[in-house]
Amino acid sequence: MTVHIGAKPGQIAPTVLMPGDPYRARWAAETFLDNPVLVNEVRGMLGFTGTWRGNPVTIHGSGMGMPSMSIYANELISEYGAKTLIRIGSAGAMQESIKLRDVVLAQTATSLSTPSRGFFREINFAPCADFGLLAAAHKAAADKGVTTHVGNIYSSDVFYDDRKDLNKIMTDHGVLCVEMEAAELYNLCARHGVRGLAVLTISDHLITQEALPSADRERSFGDMVEIALGAAFP
């Protein structure tokens, strides 16, 4: 048990999927895991452990933003022994070639700042995904026939961003999409020597201003969860 996670020893699996929304964690656990058990509800951040094809899996919310992700990822790794952490979440497309419902696999994550900035000090560390997970996720997506993009993403500190010039710079440099957690997850996975990946569903588009209707999100997010599970257990 930690300050933010009330699970008992042994209740967190070595493989953890991390959606931002705790209620999405509940939906994913009840939809994809066998015999999911609620193992955490401290501060309303839900975590469930069950099995997928006989493999133990925990699905635990991370909250919004890199500071919140840092809290939960740190505790899952340091106190519960998590070895594989996969963020599953939504993102906004920054390239015209990317469409709603497409899946982005974050090979690297650009950011203005992360909670690890004080740790790195003058170093501009380049956080990246675990290649084994990345390759397995790409194959899992191909097997499902899901349109997938692999490359650099942008992890933003803010949701309501007035820096239109910054968005253009990201787009001009081939950044695929924007979200709010992956860069710090990758930092922590590198620091602790564990595997990390972000699998992202495009729910809206910064260029076309399209957005995925709420009724369609659950079906599209289901592909993302299955790809993440397929990456963890190829």
> Could you tell me which residues are beta bridge partners of residue 148?
103
Q: Is residue 180 annotated as involved in ligand binding? A: yes
Catalytic residue among 34, 165, 204, 216: 204
Q: Is residue 155 annotated as involved in ligand binding? A: no
Integer distance in angstroms from the first to the last C-alpha of the chain?
Answer: 31
* Alpha carbons 3 and 123: distance in angstroms, whole number: 30
Amino acid identity, position 53: R
Q: Is residue 88 annotated as involved in ligand binding? A: yes
User: Strands 47-52, 103-111: parallel, antiparallel or unpaired by DSSP?
Assistant: unpaired
For residue 204, indicate whether it is catalytic.
Answer: yes
Q: Is residue 65 annotated as involved in ligand binding? A: no
Residue 94 structure tokens: 């920054």
Q: Is residue 20 annotated as involved in ligand binding? A: yes
* Alpha carbons 24 and 32: distance in angstroms, whole number: 12
Q: Is residue 90 annotated as involved in ligand binding? A: yes
Q: Is residue 89 annotated as involved in ligand binding? A: yes
Give, in order, the Cα–Cα distances in Å from 149 to each of 8, 104, 126, 172, 223. Answer: 38, 5, 19, 17, 14
Q: Is residue 121 annotated as involved in ligand binding? A: no
Q: Is residue 92 annotated as involved in ligand binding? A: no
Largest pairwise CA distance in the chain: 48
Residue 164 structure tokens: 């239109």
Q: Is residue 62 annotated as involved in ligand binding? A: no
Q: Is residue 81 annotated as involved in ligand binding? A: no
* Alpha carbons 61 and 42: distance in angstroms, whole number: 11
Residue set of the binding site for phosphate: 20, 24, 43, 87-90
Output the known binding site for a purine D-ribonucleoside: 4, 179-181, 203-204
Binding residues, by number, are 4, 20, 24, 43, 87-90, 179-181, 203-204
Question: What residues are labeled active site?
Answer: 204
